[in-house]
Amino acid sequence: MVTTSRRAMLKGTGAIAIAGALGAPALVRAQDKTLRIGHLGVMSGPEASWGLVNKYSALATAEMYNKRGGVEIDGDRYRVEIVSVDDRNDPRLTVSGAERLMGEEGLRYVIGPNTDTTATSVRPIAEKNNAIYIPYAFDKALYSPPAENAILGMIASYQTARAMYRIFYDQRDVRRVAYIARNDSDGLYQRDEGVKVAKKVGFEIVAQDIYEPTITDFFPVVANIVSLEPDVIIMSAVAPAHCPQIMRAAREMGYTGLFSAESAQDIKIINEIAGEYGNGLVSIGGASTPEIRSEYMDEFIEHYIGVAGEWNDEAGTKAYALEIILATLQKTGAAGIDDISLYKAAIPEFSMKNPFLKEDATVTYVGMDDFGQLRQIGVPMVLTETKDGEFTTLAIAGVAS
């Protein structure tokens, strides 16, 4: 959990009194009120990178706002505080964490969690406590009526697949694909959704293998796939710690084709584990490549490094969650802080300038095509390919509506 310590609060109170005496009313107002936002996600184990990037992104954004005196809502300034809970990707811990954040703490806006299983477990708690949450999970039921409290924070795997597979077919002469999925609900769901897209594109599917989430030796599983000579190995719901292990095992057995992951990966882990075998992975990247990012994104990266110690490309996508929560609350006014019905009502007409892009673009809520309602943050879709230890931009697209 990340909260302000009592000592820090007392120290801050003293600073406010002194500042007020010296005539700094704007800063004093900024410290008078606090807007608390929850974060719930996996921050330990093979999937730890997903939740940690959420947490660090929220802390970096909060730091940027607080440095400027807080977020202004209805003429008052609020210091932004992040309250974070690690669910270890265990639905039991997700439930207890959600009960604490949305129930005991009374938070109405929570970022996370990170998988279908954990996000699904949050739904009844969010509905009971009238809370909005922003999962990074892809089950369409989370975002489709009658559900209405979850807002997808990134591009879904099936949305990524539509763009990625078309590039494979048209530009890389891919015809034979093999799936390797984690044997849990997230892995199987993403594989099945990917297979639907692959069939529409016209791929021959040569394998749909699975592995257990606790696996430590990928050679036996990968050996079968490599023997079938696919053009691309698609890793469904692969954890950042498992992705480079699969890549290394396949390359050492002579595989020369592409890899793909429709979930975000971590270049540091790829370099550490896959090393010289790390080239040729196409995945969904962060919307922060140098070609498109604004000065505000540069500032965010600087703060992110200050919080996390190093930059992670995935943060370029996860930067949007807290930013759009704050911007939407500015539209609803202060009443929306405790009343999410006002937040929901503001979604259809919401639009803000995209602060992270160099070009003049807007951020809106999307998702009508896939969910039948606007329950997705319209982040840019950036596809990347690993080359010589770095993510390089392959294509930039988006979700239409």
**pLDDT tens sequence across 187-246:** 999 999 999 999 999 999 999 999 998 888 999 999 999 999 999 999 998 988 899 999
Is the pLDDT at 349 greater than 90, yes or no?
A: yes
**pLDDT tens sequence across 140-176:** 999 999 999 999 999 999 999 999 999 999 999 999 9
Residue 284: per-residue pLDDT: 86
Contact yes or no for 259/235 (Cβ under 8 A): yes
Contact yes or no for 51/318 (Cβ under 8 A): no
Which among 105, 63, 140 is positioned nearest to 305, based on CA atoms? 63
Contact yes or no for 399/366 (Cβ under 8 A): yes
CA distance 57 to 286: 12
Domain-by-domain residue ranges, the chain?
Answer: 33-154+293-379, 157-288+386-398
Beta strands 33-41 and 109-111: pairing type? parallel
The mean pLDDT value for 259-286 works out to 90
**pLDDT tens sequence across 113-136:** 999 999 999 999 999 999 999 999
Residue 5: per-residue pLDDT: 35
The band of 314, judged by pLDDT with boundaries at 50, 70 and 90, is: confident
The band of 28, judged by pLDDT with boundaries at 50, 70 and 90, is: very low
Residue 31: per-residue pLDDT: 53
The owner of tokens 């943060």 is: 315
Check residues 322 and 9 and name the one with the higher pLDDT: 322
The mean pLDDT value for 37-61 works out to 95
Both structure tokens of 140? 């369409």
Residue 209 has phi, psi (to 5 degrees) of -85, 165
Is the pLDDT at 88 greater than 60, yes or no?
A: yes
**Equal CATH topology for 33-154+293-379 and 157-288+386-398:** yes
Contact yes or no for 349/340 (Cβ under 8 A): no
Contact yes or no for 110/39 (Cβ under 8 A): yes
The mean pLDDT value for 373-387 works out to 93
CA distance 241 to 263: 12
Indicate the class that CATH gives domain 33-154+293-379.
alpha beta
The CA angle 190-195-198, to the nearest 5 degrees, is 125
The mean pLDDT value for 54-61 works out to 98
157-171 vs 185-201: helix crossing angle, rounded to 10: 40
Type of residue found at 313:
D
DSSP 222-259: HHHHHHT--SEEEEET--TTTHHHHHHHHHHTT--SEE
> Which DSSP symbol is given to 390?
E
Is the pLDDT at 291 greater than 90, yes or no?
A: no
CA distance 331 to 336: 9
Is the pLDDT at 11 greater than 50, yes or no?
A: no
The mean pLDDT value for 6-23 works out to 34
CA distance 257 to 369: 33
Check residues 286 and 115 and name the one with the higher pLDDT: 115
Q: What is the CATH number of domain 157-288+386-398?
A: 3.40.50.2300
Type of residue found at 71:
V
Which among 266, 209, 255, 197 is positioned nearest to 236, based on CA atoms? 209
> Across 42-108, where does the E strand assignment appear?
71-73, 76-86
Type of residue found at 97:
G
Residue 400: per-residue pLDDT: 66
Residue 6: per-residue pLDDT: 34
Check residues 328 and 23 and name the one with the higher pLDDT: 328
Q: Cis check for the bond before 146: say yes or no (omega within 30 of 0).
A: yes
Average pLDDT, the chain: 90
By CB atoms closer than 10 A (0-12, 13-18, 19+), residue 254 is: exposed
Residue 107: per-residue pLDDT: 98
Contact yes or no for 87/15 (Cβ under 8 A): no
Check residues 290 and 162 and name the one with the higher pLDDT: 162
CA distance 264 to 243: 10
Residue 25: per-residue pLDDT: 44
Residue 4: per-residue pLDDT: 35
Q: Which residues contact 348 (CB under 8 A, 6 or more apart)?
A: 365, 374
